Structure 1
Amino acid sequence: MKNSKTLKLISEYGQIALGIVLASIGLKAFLLPNGFLDGGVTGIALLVSRLVDINISILLVVFSIPFLILGYYTVSKRIVVKSIASILGLALFIHFENFGTITDDKLLISIFGGLFLGAGIGISIRNGSVLDGSEILGVYLNDKFGFSIGQVILLFNIILFSITAYVISIEVALYSILTYIVTAKVTDLTIEGFEDFIGVTIVSKKYLEIKVTIMKELGAGLTTYKGSKGFGSQGEQEDFDIIHTIINRIDIKKMHRIIDRIDENAFIVEFDVNNVKGGVLRHYLDKKKNKILPKI
């Protein structure tokens, strides 16, 4: 048990270290040499470093302190400790590493700078750490006043990029917005994974045939639960099982064909799934063996 916890801790800090390296590449090889900004605390540090002759590493640490103090009372102490180590690591890495300018193309700078930075932030967040304090501010205001975290970060960055447009130039602000959009999207993909899952609820009188066919032809696991009587387009409905399953979005059209073939009047509800764990989802049932099917 002790070994397992130690290995998990090593894995977490190892991945955070990888996140720091990727984020610093995005900053030092793309954004910093070309004067582009990102959102959040990193963006503030980049903006101030353009205006005053202070090292970006020092600014990154200084501007993160208020958010870390806020995080101490908002999120767990473990996350704050990891975040302090991550921010200090990022600041040191930026200070000592020395990348040459990779490209002068502004579009490539925005895209690839955001890509590396977003991947670094995403990997760090997945392992219980933040490289940017604006997320902590979002959590705090969400807790205190009910604002969504996304709204807080968006407002924060609107103010930042407006100041950038006024102080530096509109062009730099526009490219910085592009960098932020790429960073945010890559961060989300890194946290949630590249697989896109969708939940499906199916209500049909032919539920038994539908669930067997889904398992046999699609190889997806599912859950059924009892539905009560209700009223639909055909009047009062009888009691029957409701089917609930989660599949990769790439298989949704195939599922529609299966259901339409059996019951074209079936009631189907689809919804996005942010995260999944366990079950037979990631390893679909063996379509050839179908060992579970005889037990239905």
Structure 2
Amino acid sequence: MRHSKTYNLVTEYGQIALGVILASIGLKAFLLPNGFLDGGVTGIALLVRTFVDIRISYLLILFSIPFLILGFYTVSKRIVIKSIVSIVALALFIHFENFDTITDDKLLISIFGGLFLGAGIGIAIRNGSVLDGSEILGVYLNDKFGISIGQIILVFNIVLFSITAWVISTEVALYSILTYIVTAKVTDLTIEGFEDFIGVTIVSKKYELIEEAIMKELGVGITIYKGTRGIGNSGKQVDFDIIHSIINRIDMKKMHRIIDDIDDKAFIIEFDVNNVKGGVLRHYINKKKNKKLPKK
């Protein structure tokens, strides 16, 4: 079903607003009252806040400006505009909202502060925005020097937490690292989803039997490629079908058993799939979609 541009725009900004609310809860109800840090620009703002009497909302905007300027020249203008709206909204929400401190337990503060913050950041990123400028820095340096974004952000945060351990305390730095880990993992889950799909390419002389068994037993869609291969030194060419499919990770062992029962010498290539849309997939979150394909 196609939706209008207005509907898509309202949906995107509505979800970004939800992300802002979740992130602000993580900051205002957990991290800020207890002096804990997160990574990135948020971590810098929290660290500076411990030394100067300036509202965290002002610091978030102030430290985000250089990254947004950088983003203007490195990523799409639409992402920059959304990010400006998101960061300003987060700063305003933090500035005006008041949450009572929920717990004094440091472990719970690290875990749940990171959980809310990570969920908020993940929802914002899924809708083409960022709440933390360090991701923009990662994109820029990756394009400039070919260093992976993950390594850039990791080094950025190692420096930040090292400074925290030196000027505040090692304990705060350690709990802040835990917060960052939780935030990063929840962000990944929010962006990529809770289901994990694997791409599979299968080469076998018994491709017809394997094709039928996969559709019957696993209930997933498949794509067939026409292939040609050489045999030995004779240079003979044989035409055959190459099977390609997307399998939920939980079905991998079952798929291997199905193939081994038909052809234990089949050539199988597996690779991670970051995102899947459309097609016939076997989902476990929504059981209504968990149907097998009809036989041919």
**TM bucket, shorter chain:** over 0.9
Q: Are 1:23 and 1:117, in contact at CA under 8 Å, matched by a contact in 2? A: yes
The corresponding residue for 1:186 is 186
1:119-143: CA deviation from partner (whole Å, max 9, x where unpaired): 0000001111110000000011111
Q: Which residue of 2 aligns with 1:44?
A: 44
Tell me how far apart the structure 1 counterparts of residues 43 and 25 of structure 2 sit (CA, whole Å). 15
Does the 8 Å contact 1:224/1:241 carry over to 2? Answer: yes
The alignment of Structure 1 onto Structure 2 pairs a total of residues equal to: 289
Partner of 1:97: 97
Alpha-carbon separation, structure 2, partners of 1:162 and 1:236: 62
Please list, as runs of the form range in 1=range in 2, the aligned pairs for 1:67-146 lying within 5 A after superposition: 67-146=67-146
1:9-30 Cα offsets, whole Å, 9 max, x none, are: 0000000000000000000011
Change in CA separation of 1:240 and 1:103 when aligned onto 2, cut-off 3 Å? same
Preserved contact between residue 219 and residue 282 of structure 2 (Cα < 8 Å): no
Q: Indicate the residue corresponding to 1:22 in structure 2.
A: 22
Q: Are the aligned partners of 1:221 and 1:285 in contact in 2 as well (CA < 8 Å)?
A: no
Give the Cα separation in 2 of the matches to 1:205 and 1:2: 42
Distance, in Å, in 2 between the alignment partners of 1:229 and 1:155 is 46
What letter is aligned with 2:110?
S
The corresponding residue for 1:53 is 53
- Contact 2:209 2:262 survives alignment (8 Å): yes
Name the CA distance, whole Å, in 2 between partners of 1:55 and 1:205: 68
Alignment match, 1:63:
63
Q: Secondary structure at the match of 1:246?
A: strand
- Give distance in 2, aligned partners of 1:114 and 1:150: 18
Q: Give the 3-state SS of the residue equivalent to 2:277 in structure 1.
A: coil
- The answer for unaligned runs of 5 or more in structure 2 is 284-288
TM-score by length of 1: 0.93
Superposition deviation, residue 56 in structure 1: 0.5
| Separation (CA, whole Å) in 2 of partners of 1:11 and 1:191 | 16
Distance 1:245 1:253 in 2: 15
Q: Give the 5 Å matches for 1:208-227.
A: 208-227=208-227
State percent identity of aligned pairs. 81
Amino acid at match of 1:6: T
Moved over 6 A (4+): none
CA offset digits 1:162-210 (Å, max 9, x no partner): 1000000011001101100110111111111111000111111111000
Structure 1 gap segments, 5+ residues each: none
Once residues 236 and 3 of structure 2 are traced to their aligned partners in structure 1, the CA distance between those partners, rounded to angstroms, is: 59
The residue matched to 2:103 in structure 1 has which SS? coil
Residue range with higher mean Cα deviation, 236-245 or 209-218: 236-245
One-letter identity of the residue aligned with 2:204: S
Aligned-residue Cα RMSD (Å) equals 1.9
Residue 286 (structure 2) aligns with: none
